Amino acid sequence: MEASTLDAVRLSMGLQQLRAELASNNVARAGTPGARAQTADFAQLEGLLKAYGSGNASSAALSDGLRALSALKPHDATVEASALGLDTQVAEMSAASMNYQTLGEVLSRQFGLMRLAVTGRS
């Protein structure tokens, strides 16, 4: 697995982690009167991952994306947290968790295959 592919997986896992954290924060804030929901704009980073998947993004672009992810700060939305559907936020949290877990399993299998190729046994 080349470094740029690992960077793409790290970026994707980081996005899923941030999605789950935002949804979790919104669920926690839902009971606080006047608290605003939190959001972040993932469009640029998602576009970068799609471009990489299509072969249209370089490893340097992925490195830039990882730096942008670490600098990405959630901001308060115009919507109050209590106005958000809790079911929607829990579904977002669950989807992000499942995506993260799937990426982790794919990495585990890939490294297992690499170990098998190197050692010649499982």
Question: pLDDT tens digits, the chain, 122 residues: what are they?
Answer: 576 888 899 999 999 999 999 999 889 888 888 888 888 999 999 999 999 999 999 889 999 999 999 999 888 888 887 777 888 889 999 999 999 999 999 889 888 888 888 988 75
Judge contact between 71 and 17, C-beta under 8 A.
Answer: no
Domain range holding 87? 3-119
Q: State the distance between the two ends of the chain, measured CA to CA, in whole angstroms.
A: 18
- Report the number of distinct structural domains present in the chain: 1
